[in-house]
Amino acid sequence: MTRTWHITTVTDAARARIDTARLAAAYGVPGMERTRLTAALSAHLRQCLTKGGTWRLDLAAATTPQDGRLRAEVTSCDDTGTEARTPWHMTVACAEGVEPTDLAGLVADDPETLAGALLGADEDTALVLRKLGEQEDLVAFHREELHQTNQGVLALHAELDAAGRTQRDLFAAERTARTEAENARRRLTFLADASAVLTASLNHDEIVRRLQSLLVPEYARSVDVWLFDGEDDERVHTPRPAAAVVAARSGRPQYAADHPGGLSGVDDQPPSALHPAVPLLCIPLPTRRSPLGVLILSPPGERWDADDAVMLIELTRRASTAMDNARRYEHNRDIAETLQRALLTDLPPTPGLRLAARYLPATHGLNIGGDWYDAFRQPDGSLITVIGDVTGHGLHAAVMMSQLRTALRAYAVDGGSPGQLLTRLHIFLHHLQPDLYATAVIARFHPEDPTLTWAAAGHPPPVLRTPDGQVHTLDAKPGAMLGIPLKQEIHDHTVTLTPGSTLALYTDGLVERRAQGIDPGIERLATALGTFRSADLDGDLDGSADSLLHPLLSDSERDDDVCLLLCHLHSRAAEMARPSPTGLSS
Three-class DSSP category at 151 = helix
Is the residue at 131 inside a domain?
no
CA dihedral 102, 106, 112, 117 (to 10 degrees): 130
Same domain, residue pair 358 and 233: no
Residues paired with residue 504 on neighbouring β-strands, in sequence order: 463, 566
Please give the pLDDT value at position 532.
Answer: 93
Residue 64 has pLDDT above 70, yes or no: no
Which string of b and e fits 398-423 if b means at least 16 CB within 10 Å?
A: bbbbbebbebbeebbeeebbbbbbbb
H or E segment and range at residue 92: strand 88-93
Q: How confident is the model at residue 586 (pLDDT cuts 50, 70, 90)?
A: very low
Q: Which of 174-178, 217-221, 363-367, 490-494 has the highest mean pLDDT?
A: 490-494
Same domain, residue pair 348 and 326: no
Please give the pLDDT value at position 585.
Answer: 38
Burial of 27 (0-12, 13-18, 19+ CB in 10 A): buried
Question: What is the edge-to-edge ordering of all strands in the sheet holding 463-465?
Answer: 353-360, 562-569, 502-506, 463-465, 471-473
Say which range, 454-458, 492-496, 511-515, 570-574, has the weakest mean pLDDT. 570-574
Cα 12 from Cα 21, distance rounded (Å): 14
Same domain, residue pair 351 and 317: no
Same domain, residue pair 325 and 352: no
Q: How confident is the model at residue 117 (pLDDT cuts 50, 70, 90)?
A: low
Same domain, residue pair 248 and 271: yes
Is the residue at 172 inside a domain?
no
Q: How confident is the model at residue 397 (pLDDT cuts 50, 70, 90)?
A: confident
Same domain, residue pair 444 and 579: yes
Which string of b and e fits 111-138 if b means at least 16 CB within 10 Å?
A: eebeeebeebbeebeeebeeeeeeeeee
Same domain, residue pair 91 and 220: no
Which string of b and e fits 275-305 if b means at least 16 CB within 10 Å?
A: eeeebbbbbbbebeeebbbbbbbbbbeebbe
Residue 193 has pLDDT above 70, yes or no: yes
Residue 61 has pLDDT above 90, yes or no: no
Same domain, residue pair 329 and 357: no
CA dihedral 316, 320, 321, 324 (to 10 degrees): 170
Cis upstream peptide for 291 (omega within 30°): no
> How many independent structural domains does the chain possess?
3
- Sign (positive/negative) of CA torsion 140, 144, 145, 146? positive
Residue 308 has pLDDT above 70, yes or no: yes
Please give the pLDDT value at position 413.
Answer: 92
Q: Which of 91-100, 290-299, 460-469, 555-564 has the highest mean pLDDT?
A: 460-469
Burial of 458 (0-12, 13-18, 19+ CB in 10 A): buried
Please give the pLDDT value at position 67.
Answer: 67
Domain boundary among 288, 304, 336: 336
Going by DSSP bridges, is the β-strand pair 267-269/369-377 parallel, antiparallel, or unpaired?
unpaired
Q: CATH number for the domain including 475?
A: 3.60.40.10
Cα 254 from Cα 261, distance rounded (Å): 10
Cα 313 from Cα 297, distance rounded (Å): 11
Average pLDDT over the chain reads 85
Three-class DSSP category at 538 = helix
Q: Which of 331-340, 470-479, 515-524 has the highest mean pLDDT?
A: 470-479
Burial of 223 (0-12, 13-18, 19+ CB in 10 A): middle
Convert the pLDDT of each residue in 242-290 to its tens digit. Answer: 999 999 898 899 999 988 988 988 999 999 888 888 999 999 998 877 7
Is the residue at 132 inside a domain?
no
Burial of 554 (0-12, 13-18, 19+ CB in 10 A): exposed
Convert the pLDDT of each residue in 412-451 to its tens digit. Answer: 998 899 999 999 999 999 888 877 899 999 999 987 788 9
Three-class DSSP category at 237 = coil
Residue 501 has pLDDT above 50, yes or no: yes
Same domain, residue pair 392 and 509: yes
* pLDDT cut 70: percent of the chain above it: 86
Mean pLDDT across 135-143: 88
State which residues form the domain around 63. Answer: 2-109
Q: How confident is the model at residue 233 (pLDDT cuts 50, 70, 90)?
A: very low
| In 433-501, beta strands by DSSP E | 438-446, 449-457, 463-465, 471-473, 493-496
Same domain, residue pair 278 and 364: no
Is the residue at 135 inside a domain?
no
